[in-house]
């Protein structure tokens, strides 16, 4: 029987603006794919990202180009050959996973999602404003601090004063250069920073080969799929797996396995998104060293039945939200 495929563009206003070194976001713009066959529905979601040349229209167009193949039975393996890594493939891949497990297929390939500690993010702001936000998070397990190239020391010291206990991740989003990163090593060590995420532009990260590092360095914008790992050896210590970069859960599993086999630490991350993006990412979270899946916490309103976050602990979605009852969290 033919599948019915629906593509929807959705916009989720944020509760407060989200600031990083590249700019400010006030709304999460999302593409949702819904597949239906014989009364069974599978859903997937993705977030087009301008950093990678994606727009809502371009992602929808990519998915429309493979509509016929999807409706006539395209499987996840075939999808990898039809679309490149990115948001379009992610939405379709996750919808196929959801559909398949609800049909009773490949259930054994997924694990029951469990509560997990997630980083909670502090956006770029004045040092005093970041200190106030950090005070609210003083008792959570992990915080992630967004910084730019200005007031780095003031901002990080302010956050650490207000939140001395959580593990701290620092994320400049490609806004530093190698000299700045090298000069900041003593401060990062003194503040007990767990790692720095993507400090240099991905086009300049070869300079990391000469870095005398006191804290590990994580690849985000520089790492999309398992094919990137050969180039990243000797430059990074950790890779950030995001389904919007890998093009779905299928390649995310491949990247996870390849990263482990080559000695990289693993982080799982997300864009600012709804819980429909987070549900499949929890499959990677179960095997990750660091989890950064607080995207829905920034939304004014998330999807009904989605994740919740309590004191830095991410609670999985309710039964049936994504995937079959066979893989949902036990009561």
Residue-wise pLDDT for 12-57, tens only, equals 999 999 999 888 999 999 999 999 999 999 999 999 999 999 999 9
For the segment 209-237, the average pLDDT, to the nearest whole number, is: 97
How far apart are the C-alpha atoms of 13 and 298, rounded to whole Å? 9
Q: How confident is the model at residue 329 (pLDDT cuts 50, 70, 90)?
A: very low
- For the cut 70, the answer to whether the pLDDT of residue 115 exceeds it is yes
- Could you confirm whether 242 is annotated as catalytic? yes
Q: What is the mean pLDDT of residues 131-150?
A: 98
pLDDT (mean) for 207-232: 97
Does 136 participate in catalysis according to the annotation?
no
Average pLDDT, stretch 263-274? 98
Regarding beta strands 290-291 and 308-310, do their DSSP bridges make them parallel or antiparallel, or are they unpaired?
unpaired
* pLDDT at residue 180 in the model: 97
Domains of the chain: 4-109 (3.30.390.10), 116-315 (3.20.20.120)
| DSSP H stretches of helix in the chain | 56-65, 67-71, 76-82, 87-102, 127-136, 152-162, 178-183, 185-190, 229-232, 243-246, 249-261, 275-285
Would the pLDDT of 142 be above 90? yes
Q: Judge if pTM exceeds 0.85.
A: yes
Cα(94)–Cα(251) distance, rounded to whole angstroms? 11
Question: Confidence band (pLDDT; 50, 70, 90) for 1?
Answer: low
pLDDT reading at 203 higher than 60: yes
pLDDT tops 50 at residue 139:
yes
The catalytic position among 102, 136, 144, 242 is 242
Q: What is the mean pLDDT of residues 202-214?
A: 96
Smallest CA-to-CA distance from 102 within 279, 276, 323, 305 is with 323
Average pLDDT for 73-80 = 97
Segment 264-293 shows an average pLDDT of: 98
Per-residue pLDDT, 325: 61
pLDDT for residue 330: 40
pLDDT digits (tens, 9 = 90+) for 149-198: 999 999 999 999 999 999 999 999 999 999 999 999 999 999 999 999 99
Helix-helix angle 275-285:249-261, to 10 degrees = 30
Structure tokens that stand for 312 in this block: 């830095």
Query: Can you tell me the mean pLDDT for 250-256?
Result: 98
Strand order in the sheet with 23-37: 4-20, 23-37, 40-46
Catalytic residue, candidates 102, 136, 144, 146: 146
Q: What is the pLDDT, as a whole number, of residue 22?
A: 85
């Amino acid at each position: 029987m033919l599948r019915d495929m629906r593509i929807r563009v959705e916009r989720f206003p944020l509760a407060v603006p989200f600031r990083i070194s590249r700019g400010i976001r006030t709304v999460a713009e999302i593409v949702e794919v819904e597949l239906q066959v014989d009364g069974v529905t599978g859903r997937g979601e993705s977030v087009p990202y301008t950093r990678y040349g994606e727009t809502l229209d371009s992602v929808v167009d990519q998915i429309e180009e493979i509509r016929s193949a999807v409706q006539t039975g395209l499987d996840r393996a075939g999808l990898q050959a039809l679309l490149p890594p990115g948001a379009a493939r992610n939405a379709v891949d996750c919808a196929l996973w959801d559909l398949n497990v609800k049909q009773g297929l490949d259930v054994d390939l997924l694990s029951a999602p469990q509560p997990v500690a997630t980083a909670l993010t502090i956006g770029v702001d004045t040092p005093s404003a970041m200190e106030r936000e950090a005070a609210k998070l003083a008792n959570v397990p992990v915080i992630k601090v967004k910084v730019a190239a200005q007031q780095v020391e003031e901002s990080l010291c302010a956050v650490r004063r207000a939140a001395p206990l959580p593990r701290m991740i620092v994320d400049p989003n490609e806004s530093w250069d190698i000299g700045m990163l090298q000069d900041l090593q003593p401060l990062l060590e003194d503040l007990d920073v767990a790692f720095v995420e993507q400090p240099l532009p991905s086009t300049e990260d070869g300079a990391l080969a000469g870095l005398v590092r006191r804290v590990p360095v994580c690849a985000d914008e520089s790492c999309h799929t398992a094919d990137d790992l050969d180039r990243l050896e000797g430059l990074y210590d950790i890779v950030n797996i995001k389904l919007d970069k890998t093009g779905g859960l299928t390649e995310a599993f491949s990247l996870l396995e390849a990263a482990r086999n080559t000695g990289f630490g693993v982080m799982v991350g997300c864009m600012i998104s709804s819980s429909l993006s987070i549900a499949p990412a929890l499959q990677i979270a179960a095997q990750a060293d660091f989890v950064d899946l607080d995207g829905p916490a920034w939304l004014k309103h998330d999807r009904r039945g989605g994740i919740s976050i309590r004191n830095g602990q991410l609670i999985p979605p309710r039964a049936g939200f994504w995937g079959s009852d066979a893989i949902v969290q036990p009561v």
